[in-house]
Amino acid sequence: MSVAVASAKDQQGNPRFDVIGVDLPTPEGQARIAALNDGLFPFETTDQSLTDALIDAHRAGNLRATTDPAVYERASVVVVDVHCDISGIADGKPRMELDGIRRAVEELGNRLPPGALVIVETTVPPGTCARIVAPILENCLQRRGLPSDAILLAHAYERVMPGPAYLDSVVRFWRVYAGHTPEAADACEAFLSQVVDVEHFPLTRLSSTTASETGKVLENSYRAMTIAFMEEWGRYAEAVGIDLFEVIDAIRVRPTHSNMRQPGFGVGGYCLTKDPLFAQLGARELFGVSDLSFPFCTTAIDLNRAMPLVTLRKVEHMLGGSLAGKTILLMGVSYRSDVGDTRYSPSETFAREASARGARLICHDPLVSHWAEMDMPVLKDLPTLDGVDVIVFTVGHRDYHQLSLTEWLADKDVAVFDANNVLSRVQRDELRRLGTKTQYIGRGEAIA
């Protein structure tokens, strides 16, 4: 978002905004700040346009980063992207973690000049802006002797899609927004209209910030639920010996079903792993409504969290019923294809349980060199397969689609498990010609 705003130009080609990114004074935050101030994107990315846009902004001098909250004192617009998590999901007692949002908003309320616009872009429980953010801002303004509406508040959720079109998903995609007041909504619209290509991707204004917050949570809940739904069909296809991906492609021709999901290795990342729980938690803790249940959402979360273990059990069976002493080459540790982000990666669930069952893991990912959550190195070059019992493809990275399996697997006694429809028809044909023992998620054992 900082790169997108810094890239906005007026009709004469001049930058519209002077952008300052603020991060926490942690080692990770300091590393991100140092990278941005050197004109380098701080994460692995396959989006060359994003990298180029950052370089252009660095040269123009209108994008820099800091840990100093004093910069808020001269801000006209603040876009809030603060981590908002849910803890306790694994033990069945989910709890919202809103302290980070509260601290950030308190800092803004104490420092922002009158007339500044605060846009909450973070995915939050519906009701957060109206019931948490607005009261904090109003209390801060009151202590400063300023009117309660001296700072404008809006919500505009992102629909960002990490990957090769990362920047486009920010500046060339439909955005939804709402203001805490009509004036705030107008100000938010004016700002977004200078950053987003609204001629081709018009904005949608909703009637309240709670409605906007609900929109984001509902979008992600719908996606998580439809992914979970496909899991049972994956087991069906494997049991009866059909290729479910072939079936899905046939169904997607129908326009009303063009976005049908598919079975896979699991759901990861910061959003779909938790967002379906926000509505129920927000209703209970922000609105005092405790008698609402969301069985589809909670079931989707549980099913998606368990997906990697389906692959694990199948790999275990493939290797004779035990993983003890077996070596697994895990191809992909990020949470999705062509992204170097390992947060809540389904590969982590697989890796921890495989290790607990006695397996030795070798990990490869073209976009990750160190797996922070597992504190282990990750190979970027293809390893030799000496001693490897099974290769498990988990993430559909572009590099994996281009692998010549004939060259890599020739004369190697190694099994292959495709857990996420990673391998192409050509690659599956290669495995069949090699006589490689191969199994798939979503395809019967006899299907190649």
Q: What is the pLDDT of residue 131?
A: 98
Q: List the one residue out of 350, 345, 331 whose CA is nearest residue 403.
A: 331
The predicted-structure confidence for 56-79, as pLDDT tens digits, reads as follows 999 999 999 999 999 999 999 999
Tokens of 225: 């639920």
Taking only the tens place, the pLDDT of each residue in 156-199 is: 999 999 899 999 999 999 999 999 999 999 999 999 999 999 99
- Locate all alpha helices (DSSP H) within 154-294, ordered by sequence: 168-171, 182-195, 209-240, 244-252, 278-286
Q: At what angle do helices 295-318 and 278-286 cross, to 10 degrees?
A: 140
Per-residue pLDDT tens over the stretch 368-417:
999 999 999 999 999 999 999 999 999 999 999 999 999 999 889 999 99
Cα(226)–Cα(259) distance, integer angstroms: 10
Q: What is the pLDDT of residues 392-406, one digit of tens each?
A: 999 999 999 999 999
Third-level CATH fold of 2-211: Rossmann fold (3.40.50)
Domain range annotation of the chain: 2-211, 225-440
The domain covering 225-440 belongs, at the CATH homologous superfamily level, to NAD(P)-binding Rossmann-like Domain (3.40.50.720)
Instruction: Kindly state the DSSP code that residue 243 receives in the 8-state scheme.
Output: B
Gyration radius of the chain's alpha carbons: 24
CA-based nearest residue to 400, from 338, 317, 325: 338
Report residues of the chain scoring pLDDT below 50.
none
- Alpha helices by DSSP H, listed for 61-181, are 99-111, 128, 134-143, 168-171
In 3D space, the residue among 391, 294, 308 whose CA is nearest the CA of residue 344 turns out to be: 308
Nearest by Cα to 147 from 115, 178, 118: 115
User: Do the two domains 2-211 and 225-440 of this chain adopt the same fold?
Assistant: yes
Bridge partner list, 393: 331, 418
156: its two tokens: 């505009």
Cα–Cα distance measured from residue 326 to residue 319, given in angstroms and rounded to the nearest whole number: 8
In the prediction, which pLDDT does 90 show? Answer: 86
Write down the pLDDT at residue 447. Answer: 59
